[in-house]
Chains A and B, each alone.
Chain A
Amino acid sequence: MIIPDRSEYLKALAQSGQKIMGVLPALYPREILWAFDIHAAEIWDPPGELLHANAHLQTTICPIVKKSLEFILKEPDIINAGYLFPHTCDSLQNLGTQVKDLIGVSLPVYTFYNPKGSFNNTTTKYYQDILKNFQSTLEASYGPLDPEKLLAACVLSHNIDSHLLAIQLARMTDHLSLNNLEYFKLMRAQEYLLPTDYLSLLEQVDILDQPSETPRARLMVSGILPPTSEILEFLDELGVSIVADDLLAVSRRIPKFPMDVPVSPLDYLTDRFFILPSCSTRGGDLDERLHHLSKLMNASQAQGMLFNMVKFCEPELFDHRLLVKTLREKSIPVLTLETELESHISGQDKTRIEAFTELLFEMVSP
């Protein structure tokens, strides 16, 4: 299984004339973009130093926001259809209007509001209105949407979700022969591959008939993004497998359970949004989130939890205290790492990971 390099892939795609929209984290109706033949290239943690973003943002703003702005300020050729700012948190909310109304970019800037808090019929009706408004906004630039194309996009999305759910389950039950790094590369490839290419990739994933050799220690990870490649490799070296996740970039964007094959796109997109796992950025219920995490930990038999916290990320930091407290009350080992999306792992963090891993090993063979 070969996963194309993000930058090279998008470059080639742009050169082929593909419309590409840069999409910031996290939740948006990708299917509507696909139906307009627009490819969504997600911007989470683009590489490179911060050279210009610091002139626009304070030091206490989260690195995802800063790195995204740095990327946008470069006006990269690979993005040619505009930027989409889904409503995720206060900082991304303001960044959208800052880029559109104050900084100014040559491409159009779109926004998409995700309802917050507890959901009911009023929220459902509103979400459908938002979807329709988003479609109308794009129609103003790209012409009328073909309903058949939207249905096909929903079916494609459903197929991808089905594969991802199966792969997640395989991961939890040791039916997947991918190490940590390979697994998260695969999961994150959906951020930039065309949906058809991504589906082909998922179809190549070998789900084993029998469980593979049980890893020496099993870990679950929570946060916005997976740990860096260096940490993932280090965990691989230590014999620790990440068997489940509660990451916004990964499993919080996959429905909690399989959905029926789409018939009505509007209903499908609405249902899909409301059955996503509870997430701090949506202001979801804390008990529901705790219940979901507990279910994942049980299903995956994870022995410990690694919180990979992005510095200054308010939604995550608020929930973090209760999650840690609850896990500790259940005697589940917890490690919290704070990241500013630097690529290198510090010596101190390395030592902490090693110590934490030893604790997990002791639980495996007391």
Chain B
Amino acid sequence: MSIRTELRYKIMKDYGAPAVMALQNFKKRKPRPIPEAFGPPLESNKRLKEILSRHYFLSRYVPGVKKVAWVTSGAPVELLRAFDFYTIYPENHSALVGAKKQGADYCGIAEGSGFSQDLCSYARIDLGHMLSGKTPAGKLPKPDLLFCSNNICQTVLYWYKAIAHELNIPLIHFDAPFVTSEQTEADINYMAQQLQDMIPVLERVSGRVFYLNIFEDILKRSMETSKTWGTILDAMKAQPAPMTIFDAFGHLAPIVSLRGLPVAQDYYHILMDEVETRVTQGIGAISDERYRLIWDNIAIWYKVRFLATFFAERKMNFVTATYTNAWAETTGYLNVKDPWNSMAKTYGQIILNNNLKHRLDLMKKMIKTYSVDGMVMHSTRSCKPYSVGQFDLRKAITTDLDLPAVILDADIADERVWSEQQIHTRLEAFCETLEGSKHG
């Protein structure tokens, strides 16, 4: 690391980033008018934007100062934090590209180079970024290390293997056996040992020594942050709910990509205070919440605004989602006194690595505790672990709970898959059923 590079990073961190953020705020365009159907927007949105912009902005100055790791959303990142890696989450970046309705462009680049259109769009966008250098975030640093876990899907392993080969960099894979009924002792031991086996590799790549006490502090912070995120989601049990799940899709970013860092911990305290104040004051995310819904699967990033408005105008609010819950659900297993085994339990049992009975029970519980009236399932061609089984989940829930439900065929980030007419027809039919069921 040269003194010049480090100095540049420090200047950017302490002065450059705040100056850029201030300039952004100064130059900010007139805010878009908020439709009447919505309540007042969250004040925390501004802070969220600052945190994420700063993270991407600083990443440009990181090479040569810190080692950069590209990480999957379900990977046990706390271990990387102990080596001070600067982490970039390609899934988050792909979601950002999708939200900006640029997914098809990036996917096209990957497809043009030989990747199939049938592959996950997060992967295609990321590969398109890797092959072209294009990004709406300005510039992303090349990774020194790839870190993935198949606890969210096997796809990430195939995807990261392709990057590792292309860039000729090391890939650390955390193999998380799928939980078909319950985790076995062998599963836990296997995962715990893998984590410990990673230490020498991480020491070599980062050039840093592993200290257990530092790692424990990170773990503690991560645990506390996830719990706060859980508390924020719990606040949505209030009627009216203080935010919509579409808000939560955005506020999810720090828990996914900055987990274990003080900035994420501090941020969620700010958000928690705000949602709790809104609950106390009876401020709802939509102005007249009559129906409460649950969302299943990853967001349709390029249609978040459309969907939020569509439902808000019909006095329907999404108050919970299996997706946002994933970063709070298994935190309870984390134990600083037993870091390896507890991480195996935490990361091995997340929703997508768990059987469908678990998912069904969880959804039923969420429907009950959040007083849900209807369910919208996004069947996405990009995510097989989330989508295979949805037809039968819907059947079980509509039968057992007599709850209206609809499945939307779309994609997380490739807007070419969206079929306006078909989705509109389905949504209208769903809304009619929901209104009928509540008033009938």
Residues of A participating in the B interface, judged by any CB pair closer than 8 Å: 55-58, 60-61, 65, 87, 89-91, 93-98, 100-103, 111, 113, 115-118, 120, 122-123, 125-126, 129-130, 133, 280, 283, 285-287, 311-312, 314-315, 317-322, 324-325
Contacts and interface: CB of A to CB of B under 8 A. Distances in A.
Given A286-B162, A320-B114, 6 more contacts: A101-B360, A122-B197, A133-B186, A315-B158, A321-B115, A324-B114
Contacts of B227: none
Contacts of B120: 314
Most buried by B among A57, A286, A314: A314
Contacts of B186: 126, 129-130, 133
Contact of B119 (A65, A115, A126, A314): A314
B157 interface: yes
B97 interface: no
Given A87-B178, A91-B388, A126-B186, A116 B197 contact: no
B72 to A, nearest CB: 13
A322 B162 contact: yes
B381 interface: yes
Contact of A320 (B116, B157, B189): B116
B158 A101 contact: no
B277 interface: no
Interface of B: 113-116, 118-120, 123, 150, 153-155, 157-159, 161-162, 164-165, 173, 175, 177-178, 180, 184, 186, 189-190, 193-194, 197, 355-357, 360, 379, 381, 384-385, 387-393, 395-396, 409
A173 to B, nearest CB: 32
Contacts of A312: 118
A130 B183 CA distance: 12
Nearest to A60: B381
Nearest to B150: A116
Given A56-B392, A116-B173, A317 B118 contact: yes
Contacts of B173: 116-118, 283
A116 B154 contact: yes
A318 B385 contact: no
Contacts of B123: 318
A119 B414 CA distance: 34
A113 B389 CA distance: 19
B154 A94 contact: no
12 contacts: A56-B391, A58-B387, A58-B390, A58-B409, A61-B384, A90-B388, A100-B180, A103-B392, A111-B178, A283-B150, A317-B116, A318-B159
Majority secondary structure of chain B interface residues (helix, strand, loop or mixed): helix
A286 B163 CA distance: 11
A120 B114 CA distance: 32
Nearest to B153: A90
Given A101-B360, A130-B186, A283-B161, A57 B154 contact: no
Contacts of A123: 175, 190
Given A57-B391, A321-B162, A93 B190 contact: no
Contacts of A102: 356-357, 360, 389, 392-393, 395-396
A158 to B, nearest CB: 26
A113 B393 contact: no
B197 to A, nearest CB: 6
Nearest to B165: A286
Given A314-B120, A320-B116, A286 B161 contact: yes
A55 to B, nearest CB: 7
A97 B357 contact: yes
B384 A321 contact: no
B385 A93 contact: yes
A314 B385 CA distance: 12
Contacts of B360: 101-102
B166 to A, nearest CB: 8
A155 B33 CA distance: 75
A94 B389 contact: yes
Contact of A89 (B115, B116, B154, B391): B154
A97 B356 contact: yes
A57 B119 CA distance: 17
A93 B353 CA distance: 10
B158 A318 contact: yes
A182 B150 CA distance: 39
A130 B186 CA distance: 7
A286 B381 CA distance: 25
A319 B113 contact: no
Contacts of B393: 102
Given A283-B154, A317-B119, A97 B180 contact: yes
Most buried by A among B159, B356, B357, B379: B356
Contacts of B385: 90, 93-94
A57 B379 CA distance: 10
Contacts of A126: 186, 189-190
Given A56-B392, A61-B384, A133-B184, A314 B356 contact: no
A125 B187 CA distance: 11
Contacts of A95: 388
Nearest to B116: A317
Most buried by A among B154, B357, B360, B381: B154
B225 to A, nearest CB: 28
Given A102-B392, A102-B396, A317-B116, A283 B356 contact: no
A55 B178 contact: no
A96 B155 CA distance: 18
A93 B153 CA distance: 10
A326 B150 CA distance: 27
Most buried by B among A91, A97, A115: A97
A358 B178 CA distance: 47
B434 to A, nearest CB: 23
Nearest to B396: A102
Contact of A91 (B115, B355, B384): B384
A89 B385 CA distance: 9
A65 B123 CA distance: 22
A318 B357 contact: no
Contacts of A314: 118-120, 154-155, 158, 384
A322 B163 CA distance: 11
Most buried by B among A56, A57, A101: A101
Contacts of A113: 177-178, 180
A126 B191 CA distance: 9
A120 B392 contact: no
A325 B165 CA distance: 13
